[in-house]
Chains A and B, each alone.
Chain A
């Protein structure tokens, strides 16, 4: 391949390593042609499967990695290291008197009736949380200087104990990081092989427990991520890659490997986040101002509200929950995240009789092994996937494009056994499907309402292996009138990676009465953050900066976020901020804010490079003979339904329900009262009829 030709043939690769599968999407920038690949993840060293699979795809397509312009990567590595406790042995150095902050947490019970509820143990055990003399006051004035000698003595203790990473966590470091920075410098000097991070560099925000919890999680995965990225980058380089290498962060943008090595905690949930970006991209091309992204895979179903101004974000998430639906049962991570919430079970979730003699679905999952009964790997419990087989939604013979035929008989037996336990005459598969859909719809409904939108007015964008199987039923329960199933929705996250732009979120907490804010200092802070972004984010077009302030009324505990003007700020900015605050308060609470003085809490900057233009030309397949099979629907019971191959559908085609639109990774279920139209981008647009 000659050099000029290779320039013309530039491509980008999206690479999403999930729990079971690693997905690849290769996009030819010139033709817009997208090539997909999927292979099993290699958990012991995920870079091996990633590099091997990438090579398979390149070989298949006759491409050379030297022509790769960019590789964009999402990984479950960080999430899994925390959930499975496979991070590094980690120590903490804390302000004297506060070694127990990590263990005390919020001292709150997350279930009012469970006397014996459990909490995840802290990632750093008490003997590895060492105290040091130093103290800052609330406004960042040193009350006691840092005792560096003592710090090094304590560090020596930790290193002798085999600690690979240290989190330095001092009180009020968000206000003045000087002690933390000096401590980190002394540690790096003395122990160059130990990974060090400080609480204020990870989360420069008030609230010691959440900040320390986040800093400790960050330290815990530092060595793991460092080793992994080194292997992956070397592997790419060996194959001749010299393009840009970026990773998806939980805030929905991309960051460099250098930043990821320093702040690996920002890689949490990077795969599902990429899926939400894909949904937002679909929303843009179909012109939907707001929508709900619905991603259902093997073990969980997640959703995200895409609002008029883009992805909805939250300032915090919880990892490693002991009870997935109970707030407070996990470890809080304070970072800007796309607000993905878990709404229910996945295809592998098990249905059983609960203590009330009623049908419950999940939270126990059959996983990939033994898997649903229909997999024939020895699973005997009825799962959501087994119900889909029994209801005729999944064609047992053509599952996964025919590469993995299912045992329909085993599915029916498992379901019958459950029916006998429940003493139910009716079709238990219907019950499993209904309960699973209702659970997702009810969690989704509450979350959409919380986001200030009407769940009935949002189109549902469905993806993931089990998403299109359940999307129309969930939409009907929500009262939503449209479901959109984008092309190649089975690898939505890998495609989402190609639609994301580089971005980074900065924050500085500085609680002060709005009337007393030092606007010169605020301007300096924003200038510093913007300068830092310009140095760290490589982009061929100018960066976009969005400034905001979180503030509250003095005495309140909930913040509202409002925009802050660009450029040099003076006291006039207080008026604009205050006006925006009043407007937001009225909008959200339908009442005027009381007369208490506003309190400025956290200044935020979001720096982003423009998103790439994503132009995809889907491939249209050959004509196959028309088929049909019986499938169950609420309004009709079992009814003969058309089976349509997705690859044959062209723009403008319509499919009247009842119908099953099949592709290799999933099937879209269209009910008798629904109608499916294929739009110009080959999205399935399903008008959901209310029965």
Chain B
């Protein structure tokens, strides 16, 4: 088929996205683990014969859709097309290829037409367990973190590799769930391959070379246009994160040159010996590309073309490009800071486009014995506040940079002997600014009744040791994350790192306060009626008025004469 007209191209393109979505639905319905079926921690994608992305499911977990291409290209090196057979299925969880830690399993199915390799139908999903140590902070090497699968054949010409499956089953907890999830991926890939071949039949396509060139070319062109609209230059920004207890500074230099962007992390700190906060270059590259795509062409369908104008580099042996066999399980403690770093840098190029710092979500894991239902192990997910934009306040409580959802209080309580005392917006947690940052959430957990055996509650604060980055154009910042244990009225413990609390008595309250988003623009430019509305909504307290240089006089909000000196140091 030569010279595809715009209408046919549009139709084929929509169908490719549709196929990836059908694979996505197949996984969500056939998977066994909660993290896949409820939190949607997975994604599906179609790639061309070179391993370049054609289309992914709209609800793919960010990052997975980008690293799959790295996986597929590496698969082609290990297993060249001449060695692949129809019915082969490939698998790996190598963090240096895939999504940065062993939990993310990539399953890649080559698609053949008339005996020729024409595409890959692929998926990545976060399995519920991969073996290894429970206490991620204690891990020093990847060997501590679980079962490693280098690029291998999971099926050979339709026949499952029983040796690999037996080994996998022997090395993970709840192996029936893990193997079931892998099977769900194989099934979904197969569905995607079948539908892709049907499209090729309908349109008489022998291969996807021209379709790929067209759609990747169009997405690339739109991306290059968007980059060209940015002023050339190198934009630098430093962002601080908690690391594994010793705060780390991540310096980024974003160079816009014509229609390309290069992201350089020169000066990143060396990889951390213990705690698993190291990131692989594959993971960091995907993090960077994901944020750049959000910033530049959010409305364009995603494929390899979107990412061609980008390059990413970080020093070998650094926390952003760690060497094998570094421990990597808690990579989001560092990797999630790519978002504020790139936005901080690009704010200098186009302040209208970026969003101030969005505070990170948290998953709290409750584990123990329920007198009603036996052993339980369940997550309670909740969000921080979104950063403000140049023309809008940040949203309250939104999970970013993941695409997961929160956990219903009633469902969590039904599965655990815990009571959520309250869950609400954290007043005054939005960073001040012309546009205010969104509020984070706060909540408290306690046991339903006194227990002899404690309920263990594990958590991962991200942003408890260092202040969040302030917003662009003198925007303020929200407070740090805080986790504390109260016994009656007394605070008996608090945590700034991964922790595990033991709850036995109904007198104990474990209190979580998540961060809010940073503001955008100077606080004294925020209109008084917006401040009054925030006060009426109790998004800010009367005490919080001072952050805006305001006070109450005779029941009305007025600007006081005191100038706000700087963007720093919002009341906490």
Partner of A113 from the list B294, B410, B411 (CB cut-off 8 Å) is: B294
Residues of chain B contacted by A407 (CB below 8 angstroms): none
User: How far, in whole Å, are A97 and B443 apart by their CA atoms in the complex?
Assistant: 9
Decide: A206 and B410 in contact? CB cutoff 8 A: yes
Partner of A114 from the list B294, B382, B441, B448 (CB cut-off 8 Å) is: B294
Whether a CB of chain A sits under 8 angstroms from the CB of B59 is yes
Decide: A207 and B411 in contact? CB cutoff 8 A: yes
Please, which residue of chain B has its CB at the minimum distance from the CB of A106?
A: B405
- Asked whether A206 and B400 contact (CB < 8 A) given A107-B382, A588-B29, A594-B177, the answer is no
User: How far, in whole Å, are A35 and B183 apart by their CA atoms in the complex?
Assistant: 57
Determine how close the nearest CB of chain A comes to the CB of B448; give it in whole angstroms: 6
B38, B187, B361, B396 interface centre (most CB from chain A within 10 Å):
B396
Residues of chain A contacted by B10 (CB below 8 angstroms): 358-360, 435, 438
Determine how close the nearest CB of chain A comes to the CB of B225; give it in whole angstroms: 9
Decide: A104 and B408 in contact? CB cutoff 8 A: no
Whether a CB of chain B sits under 8 angstroms from the CB of A403 is no
A: contact size bracket: 35 or more
Residues of chain B contacted by A126 (CB below 8 angstroms): 537-539
Whether a CB of chain A sits under 8 angstroms from the CB of B398 is yes
Whether a CB of chain A sits under 8 angstroms from the CB of B369 is no
A-B contact count (CB 8 A): 177
Determine how close the nearest CB of chain B comes to the CB of A374; give it in whole angstroms: 21
- Digit string of B292-315 for contact with A (CB within 8 Å is 1, else 0)? 011100111010000000000000
- Asked whether A359 and B6 contact (CB < 8 A) given A104-B425, A557-B37, the answer is yes
Residues of chain B contacted by A445 (CB below 8 angstroms): 18
Whether a CB of chain B sits under 8 angstroms from the CB of A285 is no
User: How far, in whole Å, are A594 and B59 apart by their CA atoms in the complex?
Assistant: 27
Binding stretch for chain A, among B68-76, B101-109, B414-422: B414-422
User: How far, in whole Å, are A588 and B26 apart by their CA atoms in the complex?
Assistant: 11
Decide: A109 and B6 in contact? CB cutoff 8 A: no
Determine how close the nearest CB of chain A comes to the CB of B546; give it in whole angstroms: 22
- Digit string of A383-405 for contact with B (CB within 8 Å is 1, else 0)? 00000000000000000000000
Whether a CB of chain A sits under 8 angstroms from the CB of B486 is no
- Digit string of B427-447 for contact with A (CB within 8 Å is 1, else 0)? 000000000000001000000
Partner of B425 from the list A100, A206, A208, A426 (CB cut-off 8 Å) is: A100
Decide: A113 and B293 in contact? CB cutoff 8 A: yes
Decide: B419 and A116 in contact? CB cutoff 8 A: no
Which A417-465 residues have C-beta < 8 A from chain B?
Answer: 422, 424, 426, 430-431, 434-435, 438-439, 442, 445-446, 449-450
Decide: B423 and A97 in contact? CB cutoff 8 A: yes
Residues of chain B contacted by A591 (CB below 8 angstroms): 30, 180, 183
Decide: B399 and A107 in contact? CB cutoff 8 A: yes
Whether a CB of chain A sits under 8 angstroms from the CB of B7 is yes
Whether a CB of chain A sits under 8 angstroms from the CB of B5 is yes
Please, which residue of chain A has its CB at the minimum distance from the CB of B343?
A: A115
- Could you tell me the dominant secondary structure of chain B's interface residues? mixed
Partner of A435 from the list B11, B183, B187, B355 (CB cut-off 8 Å) is: B11
Determine how close the nearest CB of chain A comes to the CB of B29; give it in whole angstroms: 7
Determine how close the nearest CB of chain A comes to the CB of B131; give it in whole angstroms: 19
- Asked whether A103 and B396 contact (CB < 8 A) given A113-B294, A438-B14, the answer is yes
- Asked whether A107 and B6 contact (CB < 8 A) given A115-B389, A558-B29, the answer is no
Partner of B441 from the list A104, A439, A557 (CB cut-off 8 Å) is: A104
Residues of chain A contacted by B300 (CB below 8 angstroms): 355-356
Decide: A450 and B422 in contact? CB cutoff 8 A: no
Residues of chain B contacted by A139 (CB below 8 angstroms): 372
Partner of A594 from the list B32, B61, B537 (CB cut-off 8 Å) is: B32
Which B515-572 residues have C-beta < 8 A from chain A?
Answer: 536-539
Partner of B383 from the list A99, A107, A119, A590 (CB cut-off 8 Å) is: A107
Please, which residue of chain B has its CB at the minimum distance from the CB of A558?
A: B37
Which A104-147 residues have C-beta < 8 A from chain B?
Answer: 104, 106-109, 111-116, 119, 125-127, 137-139, 143
- Asked whether A112 and B60 contact (CB < 8 A) given A104-B397, A359-B7, A588-B29, the answer is yes
User: How far, in whole Å, are A590 and B30 apart by their CA atoms in the complex?
Assistant: 9
Partner of B423 from the list A104, A106, A114 (CB cut-off 8 Å) is: A104
Whether a CB of chain A sits under 8 angstroms from the CB of B244 is no
- Digit string of A87-110 for contact with B (CB within 8 Å is 1, else 0)? 000000000111111011011110
Decide: A107 and B406 in contact? CB cutoff 8 A: yes
B: contact size bracket: 35 or more
Whether a CB of chain A sits under 8 angstroms from the CB of B166 is no
Partner of B414 from the list A143, A206, A439 (CB cut-off 8 Å) is: A206
- Asked whether A450 and B406 contact (CB < 8 A) given A98-B423, A445-B18, A594-B177, the answer is no
Whether a CB of chain B sits under 8 angstroms from the CB of A555 is yes
Residues of chain B contacted by A357 (CB below 8 angstroms): 6, 218
Decide: A137 and B448 in contact? CB cutoff 8 A: yes
Decide: B398 and A98 in contact? CB cutoff 8 A: no
Residues of chain A contacted by B408 (CB below 8 angstroms): 206-209
Decide: B424 and A99 in contact? CB cutoff 8 A: yes
Decide: A113 and B6 in contact? CB cutoff 8 A: no
Whether a CB of chain A sits under 8 angstroms from the CB of B161 is no
Which A154-179 residues have C-beta < 8 A from chain B?
Answer: 171-172, 174
User: How far, in whole Å, are A556 and B35 apart by their CA atoms in the complex?
Assistant: 10
Whether a CB of chain A sits under 8 angstroms from the CB of B273 is no
Whether a CB of chain B sits under 8 angstroms from the CB of A230 is no
User: How far, in whole Å, are A446 and B11 apart by their CA atoms in the complex?
Assistant: 15
Please, which residue of chain B has its CB at the minimum distance from the CB of A432?
A: B7
Residues of chain A contacted by B399 (CB below 8 angstroms): 107-109
Residues of chain A contacted by B403 (CB below 8 angstroms): 108-109, 112
- Asked whether A557 and B180 contact (CB < 8 A) given A114-B294, A426-B5, the answer is no
User: How far, in whole Å, are A356 and B9 apart by their CA atoms in the complex?
Assistant: 11
User: How far, in whole Å, are A355 and B293 apart by their CA atoms in the complex?
Assistant: 15
Determine how close the nearest CB of chain A comes to the CB of B394; give it in whole angstroms: 10
Decide: A442 and B218 in contact? CB cutoff 8 A: no
Decide: B299 and A355 in contact? CB cutoff 8 A: yes
Residues of chain B contacted by A589 (CB below 8 angstroms): 29-30
Determine how close the nearest CB of chain B comes to the CB of A401; give it in whole angstroms: 33
Decide: A431 and B409 in contact? CB cutoff 8 A: no
Whether a CB of chain B sits under 8 angstroms from the CB of A409 is no
Residues of chain B contacted by A127 (CB below 8 angstroms): 536-538
User: How far, in whole Å, are A589 and B410 apart by their CA atoms in the complex?
Assistant: 28
Decide: B373 and A554 in contact? CB cutoff 8 A: yes
Whether a CB of chain A sits under 8 angstroms from the CB of B392 is yes
Whether a CB of chain A sits under 8 angstroms from the CB of B86 is no
Decide: A97 and B421 in contact? CB cutoff 8 A: yes
Partner of B7 from the list A113, A434, A557 (CB cut-off 8 Å) is: A434
Whether a CB of chain B sits under 8 angstroms from the CB of A513 is yes
Residues of chain A contacted by B295 (CB below 8 angstroms): 115
Whether a CB of chain A sits under 8 angstroms from the CB of B15 is yes
User: How far, in whole Å, are A143 and B183 apart by their CA atoms in the complex?
Assistant: 44
Residues of chain B contacted by A430 (CB below 8 angstroms): 7
Residues of chain B contacted by A434 (CB below 8 angstroms): 7, 11
Decide: B298 and A113 in contact? CB cutoff 8 A: yes
Decide: A556 and B37 in contact? CB cutoff 8 A: yes
**Mind listing 20 A-B residue pairs with CB under 8 Å?**
A99-B424, A104-B406, A107-B361, A107-B441, A109-B400, A112-B61, A112-B62, A115-B294, A116-B389, A138-B410, A143-B419, A209-B408, A356-B219, A357-B6, A358-B6, A358-B10, A431-B6, A434-B11, A442-B15, A446-B21
Shortest beta-carbon contacts, A-B, top 5: A97-B422, A108-B405, A557-B38, A113-B298, A431-B7
Q: Give B contacts to A, CB under 8 Å.
A: 5-7, 9-11, 14-15, 18, 21-22, 25, 29-30, 32, 34, 37-38, 58-62, 176-177, 180, 183, 187, 218-219, 222, 293-295, 298-300, 302, 355, 361, 372-373, 381-383, 389, 392, 395-400, 403-406, 408-411, 413-414, 419-425, 441, 448, 536-539
